[in-house]
Amino acid sequence: MRVVFLVACVLFTFYQVKCLRKAEEEQRPLPVADTEERSEYDLSEIMNECNETFRIEMIYIESLNTSGSFPDETDKTPKCYVRCVLERSLVASEDGQFDADRTADVFAGMRSDTPLDTVKQMAAICSERSETCKCERAYQFLRCLIQMEIENEKE
Domains in the chain, start-ordered, CATH in brackets?
2-32+39-154 (1.10.238.20)
Rounded Cα gap, residues 146 and 103, in angstroms = 12
pLDDT value at residue 7: 36
Q: For residue 15, what pLDDT is reported?
A: 41
pLDDT at residue 152, as a whole number: 79
On whether the CB atoms of residues 125 and 98 are closer than 8 A, the answer is no
Residue 92 backbone dihedrals phi, psi, to 5 degrees: -120, 145
pLDDT (tens digit, 9 = 90+) per residue, 64-89?
Answer: 988 999 999 999 999 999 999 999 99
What tens digit of pLDDT does each residue of 5-59 get?
A: 333 333 344 344 444 455 555 555 554 444 344 445 688 899 999 999 999 999 9
Say what the pTM is: 0.72
Closest Cα to residue 150, out of 69, 83, 92, 56? 69
Neighbours of 33 (CB within 10 A): 15
Would you say 30 and 87 are in contact if contact means Cβ atoms under 8 Å apart?
yes
Beta carbons within 10 angstroms of residue 82's beta carbon: 26
Residue range 86-142, pLDDT digits in tens: 999 999 998 889 999 999 888 765 666 778 888 899 999 999 999 999 999 999 999
Q: Are 154 and 114 in contact (CB under 8 A)?
A: no
pLDDT at residue 26 in the model: 54
